[in-house]
Structure 1
């Protein structure tokens, strides 16, 4: 068997193995269903998630309420479905903001080098060394609690992490011959960065950002649980966990377990997809 034939067989085996990755495709399918639920939530929820029914407080799962009810008699299934939208939109928005800020800082630092690189590196080092949760709480203390403030605070906390990662891959990308070729042709630095460098970096960033999405979801849920994020009567999953914890003492675990399991399932699925994407993109590079 020649070397070329062996390489082809190995490549085919790798592609076949990736296609047969059941854990990856199961996670992708699950996340696809979650996204669809978030999009069509108002049409899927059997009840108004804010409707209070004192006659049905702490109801066990039944035909009328498949997942039971909470301490106010609100249907858990409806609140879980409606909460899917808010629980996904928040991490998405914070990731968009953190990515724009972090990628910009990382590319500027890598492109200019010298004192600008040193200055930006020191700024990101200070922010990176500062405890993330403490920084978020400080921002919330200044600007007030709420879902929007929590998203902005976490976006600022994640930006230095993305900036450091972006700078590392931008340095290797800027060392490639095509960058010098465009410079010789007189193409501006901003044009080269936005049209060529950033698109070429996207595969390396994609898996990393997907994993950060899971961390963002967990972070926002934690802030809501602590009372800093989403506020009642929101059905955000972290707030649902906080509101349902009083029922544990009374033997009613559903109001806490249902949103808690939802958070864990989505975060695990996102991490699996992110890690697999990073491995695949790395193999293609």
Structure 2
């Protein structure tokens, strides 16, 4: 995956943690949510990752008038054969780039639920399997911005990781001016791997060992979010599974065949924060979900065991 990382970093400069998050999600067979203000490179990151892999890629521009059938597909009556034929929607690809997902209506957003969790689409009582690998990379603007709809809790929970681009440092922004003003750097990107290779890598990630102590530590972290009065919605069991899968991918990217507690601790904010809802009192006191989670993670003892 080093070639993919280098390829993406040719376009996204000065954001190694964001690129790392994208690769973790890809190898863990999850989905990535990129949230930030307009113009910081959210779509550029998703396109760079998609272009680095020789696979099928579809982009869906989410707008208020986008219909669920535009996402999943629709059955159309064929006058010649006198039968209904299924026309696949935008999700029928290895990598689906959902641009500005929270500008679409909640009904259209919900069309992704089955696709993301079960990797299939059901239309008119017929089920169609999606390609493998299958990854949704969605971008969204902060909900405070005009013309946005907050993602439903069920859909947020299906994204393995949420990350933010943030503004670049001055050196990276200067490099961007030098490299982006004469054309898009995406034009020079070439495929450095393919879907078959990604399938092999995900199979390797699945074999990464997770010790009993690390599993208990992960459960302790997610359970702590359900017991605090500062949160009205804690991490789901799906979040626990996502955290373990992400930690396995993170370990593999660092050349290990076992997960360390530090892997789980490092990834916890990226995997859990977007699933949590603060209480009214916590919000009024200015405590964000990130602040609350940071305190909870610090309070859970880290086990001494590693891969034994």
Where on the TM-score scale, by shorter chain, does this alignment land: which range? Answer: under 0.3
The two structures have a TM-score, normalised by structure 1, of: 0.23
The two structures have a TM-score, normalised by structure 2, of: 0.21
Q: Which has the larger radius of gyration?
A: 1
**Which structure is higher in strand share?**
2
**Which structure is higher in helix share?**
1
